[in-house]
Amino acid sequence: MIAALIKGLVLGIFLAISVGPVIFAILKQSINNGHKAGYVFVAGISASDISLVLICNFFTSLFNEALSHKTMIAIAGSLFLVVMGVYTLFFKKVKTDEDNNIIDKKFRKRDFVAVFLSGYFINILNPGVFIFWFAWTAAILADSQTYPHPLQYRAIVFGTCLVFVLLTDIAKVALASRLRSRLTPKILTNINRLSGLILIGFGIALGWGIIAYGDQIK
């Protein structure tokens, strides 16, 4: 189904280029902790997208219930971003050796689990992601009814979208990892400060949206 592939690709491009806290979190994670942590973080993000797609398609009542609490989800997401930003801005330190070279952190299994979960929750607690998947799932569900095999059509659309987004996220990690080798401790510290400010900014903007437009999102 060429039409399904094209729609999935367009949907994936739209999601991949949308500017939000996730893209900065991917770059920060990869630059600070290396490509392995970056890939694990991306895996967490992808797992959250897959979770939302499955819920939207097969557990509509559960997803509608979640949408009815999206104000609480938005508040949790806002606080999560602000906490991450504050930690990155004020407490994230760049470790160096005696020659002032950046020391790579040695990750244990539980550290990778924590990285995976942070990727999962930073994505799934973003109400914009909820709305994105809800709106497009509704559109694709309606569109699939015009095809002989609706389930196959939806699987191709969403599968193409998810694979494309995952590949672009992996590319972001690879790019960040290549840049990492050229960074000095001072530059990396400044990147951490900028990342922290960006995450705090997104968190505050999300919280402000709740206060200013609470009636519309309840």
Encode pLDDT of 109-153 as tens digits: 888 999 999 899 888 877 777 777 877 887 887 777 777 888 888
What pLDDT sits at residue 145? 75
* Alpha carbon 131 to chain centroid, angstroms: 14
pLDDT band at 34 (very low <50, low <70, confident <90, very high): confident
Residue 188 near residue 94, CB atoms below 8 Å? yes
DSSP string, the chain: -HHHHHHHHHHHHHHHH--SHHHHHHHHHHHHH-HHHHHHHHHHHHHHHHHHHHHHHH-HHHHHHHHTTHHHHHHHHHHHHHHHHHIIIII----B-TTSPBPPP---HHHHHHHHHHHHHHHHT-HHHHHHHHHHHHHHHHHHTTSS-HHHHHHHHHHHHHHHHHHHHHHHHHHHHHHHTT--HHHHHHHHHHHHHHHHHHHHHHHHHHHHSHHHH-
What pLDDT sits at residue 83? 83
pLDDT (tens digit, 9 = 90+) per residue, 58-93? 776 666 666 566 677 667 767 877 887 787 778 766
State the CB neighbour count (10 A cutoff) for residue 208.
11
What pLDDT sits at residue 147? 78
pLDDT band at 45 (very low <50, low <70, confident <90, very high): very high
Residue 36 pLDDT > 60: yes
Q: Say which amino acid occupies 126.
A: N
Q: Determine the Cα–Cα distance for residues 148 and 160; give it in Å rounded to an integer.
A: 19
Quote the crossing angle between the two packed helices 109-124 and 21-33, to the nearest 10°: 170
% of residues, the chain, pLDDT over 90 = 16
Q: How many residues does the chain have?
A: 218
Global pTM?
0.73
What pLDDT sits at residue 217? 45
What pLDDT sits at residue 95? 61
Half-sphere exposure in the Cβ direction for 6 (13 Å, CA): 3
Q: Say which amino acid occupies 164.
A: F
